[in-house]
Amino acid sequence: MPSPYRIVRNARLLLQSAAQHLVDDPALLVVQVSRRLPLRARVLAGDMVRALAGRLPGCAGAAALGAFMAGDDEAAHRHVRRSVGSGSRLGGEVAVLLDRSDLLTPEAAPATRARAAWARGDLTSSLQILRGSGRGESRYARRLLSEIRLLSPGHRLSVPRGDASWATTREEGALRVLHLLTNSLPHTQSGYSLRSHRILTTLRDQNIESVALTRTGYPVMVGLLGAAEEDAVDGIRYVRTLPARLPQTQEERLEAEAKRAIELVAEFRPHVIHATTNYYNALVAQAVSAATGIPWVLEVRGLMEKTWAASHSSPRGRRAALNSEKARLVAARERELASDASAVVTLSDTMRAELVDRGVDGAAITVVPNGVEESLLTTRRTPAEARALLGVGMDEAFIIGAVSALVDYEGLDVLIRAVARLVADASVPQSLRDRLRVIIVGDGQAAPGLRVLAEELGIGERLIMPGRVSRHAAPNWVQALDVVAIPRRDVEVARTVTPQKPVEAMALGRPVIVSDLPALMETVTGTGGEICALIHEADSVEGLADAIIALAVDRTRANILVERGLSAAAERTWPALIQRYRTMYDEVITQEESARGR
């Protein structure tokens, strides 16, 4: 049972975080809270807010927020247009969430106009708006200024210097690594946290000890009031940074994490500090390394500015974001930090080439692609067996789907449109049209809109969305599918970042369809150059529909892809890949010891 002190401390942190969000972005706070609910409850809550607000005068902003929560962006746009003219702050905040800050009028609240500029990536303009309205010394302005300072070239965190004796030499046998992570199991299940956990467990199995530290306030700030100072998952120790009070600025939060990391260094005596995306973690690792003399490495799993740009809902907004002040500053900062690290790890040759183009020394980069657990290769179930295990029935159905984070760039709306197209196509055999179903497992900001889209296209009864499932259940859902689709959209983040999903689906013996993006093509290409998936043009509903039909009617072709996929996945098991980490760590330690010996 959590101690009274822990509950009081966590409640204070949670309330401070909520109060900060209430000042900075109240609409986003409501949306984030609603995302803790199951999908149906979230949609119902949004519909209730919309219905109640619609009956009251002057509540168009609240109606817009309800429509946004329910996934009805078209209705949200209508309500926003009605609300912004009246100066509604809530309506203006929803306009920002919809990537429609162009709808804001000069009379909109300064904080809303500043947030809109920040969301576009116009960081300097955001501060100027606050200063021009007399809010240049507000807490919100100080938080924005802190973010800009962190992006300034050469800026370093201020942390106490540690004991130089903590930079231990490598003893025979055990090797110890301190990992700095944004989030982790058991509280966050994502491609990021799952890859981290598989790396840590495999390192342990190969006699490399690890401790992981997560960002300040996590996981309390995502709503977990009972969160402990540490969690142990499969024997891996995840340590939290939970101060008595929540620091107000991002710089202060990173410095609090760095101080906690130095405490762990004194206790754990690591040989290497391993920071994983993004530059926040890199800044902490850099500071702790400078304070203790322990070398640090950076694992680049994504390019932050491209991931951020992909969060904009319109092509216009994404293009503007990629060319913004924020994108330029983030790219330059991450390049600077990668160059300062003793070594860099990344996920693919595609990402390595991108880093080299940015000026990172290619000789310092190690590629460790997404791997699979060996147990997946021996887990054999037919779709019918997996469906029986999950209790979903539909033994005779032909099911295509995905187990994924539900964000716009995953292109799952393209999948729904492709299935609707096939169901309406008289040239498709009636028996297949009758059997066609879609399962989309996971959650995220795109989830309500996917449900709305399926209803609008007349296939709502064919779509199953079970929401979040445990990491242990996820493979069963993959095996419940006849075909796994990864139809990512042609946006920068999807062109460069390789997902975990294709290789795991191949390991589980399922045929895979992917869009023709460089990162995906690399993922589904075997070491001999053979393509292990069916490829379709990104963003093409017709192309994806044709690929589904091709595998549905030609089981021989599907079986060939399955065999190729199994062979490719067998070459990417974590025990085989983890040797690359060991080699990198040994080289970094040797270089540091040589430098100290001079």
DSSP 180-198: EES--TTT--SHHHHHHHH
- Determine how many CB atoms are found less than 10 A away from the CB of residue 266: 13
> Whole-angstrom Cα distance, residue 185 to residue 534?
32
- Mean pLDDT across the stretch 39-44? 92
What's the confidence (pLDDT) of residue 1?
57
Global pTM value: 0.94
> Whole-angstrom Cα distance, residue 251 to residue 255?
6
Please report, rounded to a whole number, the percentage of residues in the chain having pLDDT higher than 70: 97
Domain shared by 130 and 182, yes or no: no
Which of 163-172, 252-261, 380-389, 524-533 shows the lowest mean pLDDT across its residues? 163-172
What's the confidence (pLDDT) of residue 172?
55
At 496, give phi and psi (nearest 5°).
Answer: -110, -30
DSSP per position, 118-135: HHHT-HHHHHHHHHHTT-
* Mean residue pLDDT across the chain: 94
Domain shared by 83 and 139, yes or no: yes
Question: Residue by residue, what is the 3-state secondary structure of 149-171?
Answer: HHCCCCCCCCCCCCCHHHCCCCC
- Mean pLDDT across the stretch 314-318? 89
Which of 23-27, 67-71, 324-328, 495-499 shows the lowest mean pLDDT across its residues? 23-27
Tell me the residue range of the domain where 562 lies: 374-572
What's the confidence (pLDDT) of residue 165?
64
Q: Nearest 5°: CA angle at 31, between 131 and 189?
A: 115
For the chain, the first-to-last Cα distance in angstroms comes to 53
Q: Does the pLDDT of residue 585 top 60, yes or no?
A: yes
Domain shared by 424 and 341, yes or no: no
DSSP state of 278: S
Task: Indicate the pLDDT class of residue 22, thresholds 50, 70 and 90.
Answer: confident
DSSP per position, 32-56: HHHTTS-HHHHHHHHHHHHHHHHTS
> Whole-angstrom Cα distance, residue 203 to residue 323?
39
Spatial contact of 166 and 265, defined as CB atoms under 8 Å apart: yes
DSSP per position, 76-144: HHHHHHHHHTTT-HHHHHHHHHTT-GGG--TTS-HHHHHHHHHHHT-HHHHHHHHHHTT-TTSHHHHHH
Strands of the sheet containing 365-367, edge to edge, are: 230-233, 236-241, 208-216, 175-181, 272-276, 296-300, 343-346, 365-367
What's the confidence (pLDDT) of residue 169?
61
What's the confidence (pLDDT) of residue 193?
97
The strand pairing partners of 439, in sequence order, are 401, 464
Domain shared by 100 and 136, yes or no: yes
Express each pLDDT in 346-372 by its tens digit: 999 999 999 999 999 999 999 999 999
Domain shared by 134 and 189, yes or no: no
**Does the residue 40 lie in any domain?**
yes
- Mean pLDDT across the stretch 546-563? 97
Domain shared by 108 and 185, yes or no: no
- Mean pLDDT across the stretch 517-526? 96
Locus of tokens 């002190």: 5
> Whole-angstrom Cα distance, residue 86 to residue 63?
14
Express each pLDDT in 75-91 by its tens digit: 999 999 988 877 788 99
Express each pLDDT in 191-224 by its tens digit: 999 999 999 999 999 999 999 999 999 999 998 9
Query: 276-313: b or e for each residue (b if 16 or more CB lie within 10 Å)?
Result: bbbbbbbbbbbbbbbbbbbbbbbbbbbbbbbbbbbbbb
**Does the residue 265 lie in any domain?**
yes
Spatial contact of 75 and 98, defined as CB atoms under 8 Å apart: no
DSSP per position, 564-575: HHHHHHHTTBHH
- Determine how many CB atoms are found less than 10 A away from the CB of residue 105: 11
What is the H or E stretch that residue 494 is in?
A: helix 492-496
> Whole-angstrom Cα distance, residue 369 to residue 94?
38
Domain shared by 359 and 463, yes or no: no
**Does the residue 522 lie in any domain?**
yes
Spatial contact of 178 and 268, defined as CB atoms under 8 Å apart: yes
Spatial contact of 123 and 144, defined as CB atoms under 8 Å apart: yes
**Does the residue 593 lie in any domain?**
no
Please report, rounded to a whole number, the percentage of residues in the chain having pLDDT higher than 90: 86
**Omega before 278 within 30 of 0, i.e. cis:** yes
- Structure tokens given for 164: 């130089």
CATH number of the CATH domain containing 287: 3.40.50.2000
- Structure tokens given for 584: 């990198």
Spatial contact of 338 and 278, defined as CB atoms under 8 Å apart: no
Domain shared by 566 and 484, yes or no: yes
Spatial contact of 453 and 541, defined as CB atoms under 8 Å apart: no
Q: Is the dihedral of CA 532, 536, 538, 544 positive or negative?
A: negative
DSSP per position, 337-385: HHHHSSEEEES-HHHHHHHHHTT--GGGEEE----B-HHHHT----HHH
What's the confidence (pLDDT) of residue 217?
97
Domain shared by 123 and 11, yes or no: yes
CB proximity list for 242: less than 8 A, separation 6 or greater: 9, 10, 13, 216, 217, 220, 227, 229
Q: Is the dihedral of CA 588, 590, 592, 594 positive or negative?
A: negative
> Whole-angstrom Cα distance, residue 111 to residue 113?
6
Domain shared by 382 and 340, yes or no: no
Number of separate domains in the chain:
3
Express each pLDDT in 390-448 by its tens digit: 999 898 999 999 999 999 999 999 999 999 999 999 999 999 999 999 999 999 999 99
How many CA atoms within 13 Å lie on the side-chain side of 439? Answer: 26
Phi-psi region of 108 (alpha: psi -120 to 50; beta: other; left: phi over 0): beta
Domain shared by 357 and 303, yes or no: yes
What's the confidence (pLDDT) of residue 107?
85
**Does the residue 394 lie in any domain?**
yes
> Whole-angstrom Cα distance, residue 437 to residue 433?
9
What's the confidence (pLDDT) of residue 168?
64
Strands of the sheet containing 534-536, edge to edge, are: 463-467, 436-441, 398-403, 483-486, 512-515, 534-536
Residue 444, SS3?
Answer: coil
- E strands of 408-490, at which residues? 436-441, 463-467, 483-486
> Whole-angstrom Cα distance, residue 221 to residue 423?
44
Locus of tokens 């657990």: 373
Angle between the N-to-C axes of helices 89-97 and 110-120, in degrees from 0 to 180, rounded to the nearest 10: 0
Q: Does the pLDDT of residue 171 top 70, yes or no?
A: no
What's the confidence (pLDDT) of residue 594?
84
Q: Is the dihedral of CA 403, 405, 409, 414 positive or negative?
A: positive
- Structure tokens given for 359: 């000026």
Domain shared by 410 and 441, yes or no: yes
**Does the residue 482 lie in any domain?**
yes
* Final residue of a structural domain among 343, 367, 391: 367
**Does the residue 398 lie in any domain?**
yes
**Does the residue 577 lie in any domain?**
no
Task: Indicate the pLDDT class of residue 26, thresholds 50, 70 and 90.
Answer: confident
At 173, give phi and psi (nearest 5°).
Answer: 100, -105
What's the confidence (pLDDT) of residue 157?
97
